Structures are given as C-alpha cells and as structure tokens.
Copies of this chain bind each other. A is one copy, B any other.
C-alpha cells in the first residue's frame, strides 16, 4: 500500500473522475504527500510518471496542472525483424537479394549527411515469415561508420549484425503508406500499387551516419501500441 504506483493510481483516478478538470491546478507535492501520508519524494515520483505520460504538465514554481494540450504519448516497441516474426509464432528467414557499392541519390546523401559522391553499400534483403514474404528491406550502409571488416551478410541479417557492432546509435524513424513499386510488388507477391506500410529509419553515431533503411511491409501489416 501507498507505494508510488498507488499514489499514481489515486491521482489518475481523481483526474478521470473529473475531480480536477483539464487545465486545473492540482495541490502541490507537499500537500499531496501530507494527504496521502507519504514522503514528498514518493508523490514526486508518481507525478513525474504521470507527466511523462502526458496527463500532467509541471513547471517549477507554477505548479502541476492537468494537461490541456492532450498530447497522448504512446510507446512503440521496435524489435528487430527476426523477433517480430518469431513473436507472431512464425519462422523467420531471409534472402540477400543485392549487395553493391554505389553512390546514394543526392536526396539521401543529404539526409544521411555524407558527401554527394560517397561510396556506400546498398543492400536489399527480403524477410520471410513461414516462407512467405514479410518485408522488403532496402538499406544504405556507410562502411566508414562501422569498425572493422564487413561480413557478407548471407548468414546474418544486416540489422542483427549492426545491433551487435554499432549497438546504440540514435536516429529517427518515420512511418508512411506508399503504393508498391513494380519491384516491391514482384518481390512481396502483391499487385503493383498495393498499399504498403513503410518504415524509414536513419541511424547515426556521434561521428557519422551509419545506415538508412526503408522497410516495405507486405500488405496486411499492422503496428500496434497501447495508450
């Protein structure tokens, strides 16, 4: 009883009961601590957590109020494809379709922050779930940004090799819908122009851009999250 999660639940309940309406100031930490008979640090933990979830807005001196902005935050778990496929109870396999050295298109060079003429490695991998096309991965890899020699990527996916080799790069991820190109349709086994769920991800270390991936999922793919 009266751990910080209980305090959090109690406060959330009062918000949901419209005890405190959106925009309203709630009591300060010291008062809440006294009311619930816990230390201020415990209330702080609870309120901080609710604020991280977007329910509260906190500002020093100004106090804590129920969020008016209503920006919900959802946490997306983004696993490597193998795990995603296996989590669905299917067997993962992949085929390396292409591996060439080439200069990226200018737009991409700009986005990755590499010189326009830089030689990058272009890799194309088809991921399979129980033998059926799951997603087509089109990747540009910057060999300068990874330590040591590159494997040939027929035994291990680029993704899994990267998370072992450049473990914790930062980056950004985008989600969009696009019609299947001729090539994507052929490889994924759908009609040209079919609506595909696409994720584009760029990752970089402090020093340099490491990789850019476009992942076109076979039709029917859904990404889900709890609020």
Residue ranges of A at the interface with B (Cβ–Cβ < 8 Å): 12, 15-16, 18, 21-22, 54-55, 66, 69-80, 83, 163-164, 167-179, 193-198, 201, 203, 205-206, 217, 219, 221-227
Q: Is the CB of A69 within 8 A of B74?
A: no
Q: Is the CB of A73 within 8 A of B78?
A: yes
A110: shortest Cβ distance to chain B, in Å? 17
Measured in the bound complex, the distance between the Cα atoms of B69 and A107 in whole Å is 33
Task: List 10 additional contacts besides A15-B167, A73-B77; criterion CB under 8 Å.
Answer: A15-B168, A22-B167, A55-B168, A66-B167, A72-B77, A74-B75, A175-B197, A176-B222, A177-B217, A179-B195
Q: Which residue from chain B places its CB closest to the CB of A77 in the assembled complex?
A: B71
Q: Give chain B residues whose Cβ lies under 8 Å from the Cβ of A79.
A: 69-72
Is the beta-carbon distance between B226 and A171 smaller than 8 angstroms? yes
**B residues in contact with A205, CB < 8 Å:** 16
- Chain B residue contacts of A66, Cβ below 8 A: 167
Q: Closest CB-CB distance, A28 to chain B, in whole Å?
A: 21
Q: Are A12 and B173 in contact (CB under 8 A)?
A: no
Instruction: Closest B residue to A178 by CB, please name it.
Output: B195
| Distance of A203 Cα from B72 Cα, bound (Å) | 12
Interchain CB contact under 8 A, A173 and B69: no
**Contact (Cβ within 8 A) A172 B227:** yes
Closest to A170 in B: B227
Q: Is the CB of A75 within 8 A of B73?
A: yes
- How many Å from the CB of A143 to the closest CB on chain B? 18
CA gap between A73 and B163 in the complex, in Å: 14
Which 9 residue pairs across A and B have the least CB separation, nearest first?
A177-B177, A195-B195, A177-B197, A177-B195, A70-B163, A174-B224, A72-B78, A176-B222, A175-B223
Cβ of A175 and Cβ of B172 under 8 Å apart?
no
Question: Is A177 a contact of B163 with CB atoms below 8 Å?
Answer: no
Residues of the B chain whose Cβ atoms lie less than 8 Å from the Cβ of A171: 226-227
